[in-house]
Every structure is written in C-alpha cells, then in structure tokens.
A and B are shown apart, each in its own frame.
Chain A
Amino acid sequence: MTTIEALPSAPSGRGRRRALPDKWYRGILGVVALLFGALAVWFLVAVIIQAKPAFSTLGFSWIVGKVWNPTHNQYGLLPFILGTIESTAIAVVLAVPIGLGTAIALAFLVPSKVRPALSTTVELLAAVPSVVYGLWGLIVLAPLFREHVEPFLTSVFGWTGLFNGPDRGVGLLLAGVILAIMILPTMVAISRDVLIVVPTEQVEGAMALGATRWQVLRKVVVPGGRTGILGAFTLATGRALGETVAVAMVIGNAPFIAHSLKAPAATLPSLIVNNFGESTGTELSALFGAGLVLLVIGIVVNSAARWLVWSTGADAAGAELGR
C-alpha cells in the first residue's frame, strides 16, 4: 500500500505572490470609486459656495431681473435664461423631425450595403469639436444668412413679427441652426439604435397583416422606441443648453431680451465665457450664480434623459457616445 503523495500545494509562483489579497483589491477599487464620488460632491459644493455671495447680496430676484448692467450693480439673468431656452427651442424644433426622419431612413430605408458606412459617418460627426461648428457658422453661415436666408424668411414670414429688425446674420436664429446641426448626430445615432431594437416579430407581424412600410414604422416601430427616442432628444437638448463656444461665436452676445429671431442675444454659457476674464467681486459671483442656474437646468434635463434611455435598454449606445 502506497501512501498518497502530498497534495500539490497552491502555486507559489510570482503571479500568486504579486497578487493582492481580495480584501485589498476590493478596498482599493472602493476607495477610488469613493474619490470619484467625492470629486462630484466637491464640484457641486464648490460652485454653490462661490455663487452664494451673489444670492446673499442680491437675494433671489436677480435671477428673473431683466437688466444686466454690472456698472449699475444690476445682474438680471432673465435675458440669458430666455436666450438659452429660445436658442435651444429653435434647435430642437429643427432637429427633432429631421433627426427622427434621418434615424428612420438610416435604420430601415437605406440599402443595407451603405448603411454601416452612413451610420458610422453620422456617429463620427458627433465627435467634431463644437468650436469647429462655431467657426463655420461665423465665417460661412453668417454671411449666407445675412444676404439670403434672413431676407427670404422676412419676406415670407415677416407678417408674424418674428423677423423684425435688420438682417445681421449673427443672432438667435443662426445660433439655433448651428445648435441643431451640432445635436443632430447625437439624436440620430441614439434614436437609430433604439429603433433597431424593436422586436422583429412585431414588425413582421404588422407586415403580415398587410400594413404598408410607413404604417409599420408609425404604428409599431416608433411607438416601440418611444421612450428611448424621447431620451435621445432630451439628451440632445441638454447638450444644446450647455453649448458654449459655438453659440457665443454666432449669437451676437447682446445682453437683452430678443424681440425677433434675427436679434442678437446671449445665453447663460455665452454670458459666462464673455465676461469671465474681466469680472471681480459681485459680478464674478453673479457669473458663478449663472453657472449654478445652468447646472440645475442641465442636471434636471440630463437625469430625465438618462432615465428615459435607461428604461429601454439602449443604454450602451449612449454610454459609448459619451454624451
């Protein structure tokens, strides 16, 4: 009878000795994750603390004040809040139908041979830096708007009163159009991903019942991806709200409430970036306050968007785009 040889001991090579005990490993990862969370809290607290002097010296009414005139100690934010909302609204009104139509075309109409190439192109365009869009808008689109687009729109829609005033090129309308172009790729990429995950059985079922392609799209595919599409549009809206340089380059930067689509205006981000360099004291704090207002709007819009996209399971698309 032979005795059983000693069981081979656990490998004691280099790899084993170098490996961290599980506790340490989890601990280190946890600490790093905690640091990340702390960074987010620090960010929020720092902005709030720096904006506080503006609120304590001016109260809360300055947020809806109509006049921005630092030399007279007036820091009304309303023109900029309105400018932000208006430019974003123009962008969304233009980009929602075009984005949805493009997403449908990319997902179902384009021949499958060119589909990947076209889709990739659209996704790549989401990566083009905003300052490049701003440069193009200022140098190429602004003269085009001044000479052709605005005179035309005024002659056709002048009666609405939306196009009063001189043709300047730069202004609310151009800012909205540039924003629309910038948010289109994001909208299209995510909506397309949402549309193609609608179950094939449902599509084929509707087809078998004799529905036309458009009926299938309108009654089955789009309703199926409704939440995700809404999320994509909200996400794009958030991006338009916070866009700084491209808007600052083409909106004209006038601190007044715009009474015409052609009028120059300003947004919260453009206010901050234009006045930051030469501000001190209450004005600087007011700019931080403007940032805080923008942050609150941004967080609300983004949380809503994330929640909507999440609930459809098309989350990977959004995460990969990083937007």
Chain B
Amino acid sequence: MTSLLEAPADPAVERRRAVQAAAASSLGRRKFASMVALGICWLFLLIAVVPLVAVIGYVIAKGLPAWNADFFTNSTVPEGYPGGGVWNAIVGTVVITVIATAVAVPVGLSCGLFLAESDGRAAAVLRFTADVMTGIPSIIVGIFGYIAIVRNFGGYSGFAGAFAIGFIMLPVIVRAGETAFRGVPRSLNEAALALGARRSTVARRVVVPTALPGVITGVLLAVARGLGETAPLLLTIFGNQYLQWNPSKSMEALPILIYNYSSQPYADLVQVAWGAALLLMVVVLVLSIGSRLVAAYLRKERR
C-alpha cells in the first residue's frame, strides 16, 4: 500500500497548484489594484454628493431669510418696493397643478389599468408610446400647448399651462399605474371573478385597493415632477405679476418667477427667487418623501 505522499503526480492537481501559485503571487498586486479602484469609487461618491448637498444647502441658506409673512401673502412687487411676496405665483402653481392632476390621474390610471389587462400588439405600442413620452423634452410640450391651446383659445392662460403640465404627468402616471396594477396577484383577480364579480367590480374592489400604495407613489411623483416644470409654462401661461385666480387668464407660477428673477440685477428680486426656490424644493421633496411614507404605511398595514 502506497502512502499518499508517494502517489504519482495527478496532472489536474499539478495544474491546480500552478494556478494557485500564480494567483497567490499576484494576490498582492490584485489586492492593491482593488483597493485603488474601490477608493476611486468612494471618491466619485464624494464628488457626486458634494454638489448635490451644496445645492440644497445654498437654497436653504439663501431662501430661508426671504421667508416672512409678506412673502407668503403678498403678490410680487417691482424692484425697490418693500413687502413683495410670491402669493400670485403660489396661486398660479396650485391652480395649474390641481387642474392638471384632476385630469391626468383618472385618464392615466384608466390607461394603466387597460395596459395591465392587455397583452396585445396595440397595448405594446401604447406602452412604448408612454415610455417615449416621458422622455420628450418639456420645451416641446410647451410648444404643443401653445399650438393647441394658446393659439386656439384666446391666448396665454392657466388652462394652457395645465394642459402642458398634464401632458407631462400623463405618461408617468400611465406607466406607474400599470406597474402597480400588474403587481396585484393573479389569484386575487381570479378568485373575485370566480365569485361571479364583474370585471369593473374586480377593478374597483380588488385591483385598485391592492395596488393603492404603488398608485399613490406614482401619482405623487408625477405631481412633484409637474410642479417643477418651467419651460412649458413659459410658453403657455407666460407669467403675470398680479394675482390671478381665473385659469382662463395669464397666470404666474413659482418656476417662472424663479427663472425671471434669477437674471435680474437687483438683490431684492434675486432674494425672492431664492425664497421661491426653497418653497418649490420643499414642496417637491415633501411630496417625494410623502409618497414613500404613504406607500410604506399602506404596505405595512396590509400585512
């Protein structure tokens, strides 16, 4: 009986030894390269975080001093006059966003429901259309709003702005809705149908309630996106330095105010722009964070 030590050399073992030796001899070099490369990744993380934090920090530091009672209750005033605010811009932004949301949400969710229940060729085309529409440069949506509404319906108006903003929100809601509705387990659907429920009842009682967290997230994100759009509004509502509640007239909006005031040579107007930027950013971030919290809460409650 031969001992293990005297066994004839197995070529496979030999080869493995050679590979292991090579790996061991290059281990130091590979570890060093790994350290350097991962260090660069950390560095890039830092480089990415710094400007993003700086933007938020600056907006808070420069915008907060602009916030006072006048800022929220008075309309804009010309340079040099005290007591100016952004009330007209807040009204415009709220009115436009509410109209856009009120139209885009039911239409978008119906389309989402349709897409979630369809697998045909037409649905695929529609789905792709929605995807491409989310990426259309917003300025062109502004052009569309101008062509379709401003030209045909008596000039610049809040309705034209709401049309453009709604157009931007719509594909986001369609796709978010479809994703949420598709997440509803098939078994739930089929159980309801087997009980004799009609499809509309299944949608109302089963699909929509189950998909609610996803739907709410999608809608709030779409609203947040609509709130910050500037370019389409410049081409559709034009801006208005006076308070205007009537959406069939030209209105002011927060993004337009920021855009116009930022290039003004007057410190007090730039100050108002920072204040408005902070307000817009806070609202958008609250909506984004809120959407996550609501979704998380609803999911937890269900369990």
A→B interface (CB under 8 Å): 10-11, 15-16, 19-22, 24-26, 28-30, 32-33, 35-37, 39-40, 42-43, 46-47, 50, 97-102, 104-106, 109-110, 120, 122-125, 127-136, 138-140, 181, 184-185, 188, 210, 212-215, 217-218, 235, 238-239, 241-245, 249, 269, 272-273, 276-277, 287-288, 291, 294-295, 298-299, 301-303, 305-306, 316, 319-323
Contact = CB atoms under 8 A, between A and B. Distances in A.
A242 B138 contact: yes
A19 B140 contact: no
A135 B198 contact: no
Contacts of A322: 134, 172, 175-176, 218, 221-222, 225
B48 A130 contact: no
B120 to A, nearest CB: 11
Contacts of A320: 176, 179, 217-218, 221
A242 B126 CA distance: 22
Interface of B, secondary structure class, is helix
| Shortest Cβ-Cβ A-B pairs, 4 listed | A242-B137, A129-B228, A101-B44, A302-B135
Contacts of B262: 134-135, 138-139, 249
B15 interface: no
Given A37-B126, A302-B135, A323-B134, A249 B281 contact: no
B114 interface: yes
A110 B46 CA distance: 12
19 contacts: A19-B201, A20-B198, A22-B198, A22-B200, A29-B114, A36-B107, A36-B129, A40-B133, A50-B143, A102-B45, A102-B49, A109-B42, A120-B292, A125-B56, A131-B228, A132-B280, A140-B54, A212-B30, A213-B34
B143 A272 contact: yes
Interface stretch (B76-84, B240-248, B283-291): B283-291
Contact of A214 (B34, B179, B230, B284): B34
Give the most central of B48, B55, B113, B141: most A CB within 10 Å: B48
Contacts of A273: 139, 142, 231, 234-235
Contacts of B273: 135
B71 interface: no
Given A129-B230, A133-B55, A319 B255 contact: no
Given A46-B147, A276-B235, A132 B23 contact: no
B115 to A, nearest CB: 7
Interface string B29-70: 011011101101111110111011011101100100000000
Contacts, number: 284
Contacts of B129: 36-37, 40
Given A242-B139, A322-B176, 6 more contacts: A33-B123, A36-B174, A99-B48, A131-B230, A139-B274, A291-B140
Given A132-B277, A249-B263, A212 B147 contact: no
A316 B139 CA distance: 26
A136 B111 contact: no
A299 B30 CA distance: 43
B150 to A, nearest CB: 11
Given A37-B129, A316-B179, A239 B135 contact: yes
Contact of B196 (A11, A132, A239, A277): A11
Given A127-B221, A212-B30, A181 B134 contact: no
Contact of A272 (B23, B58, B139, B255): B139
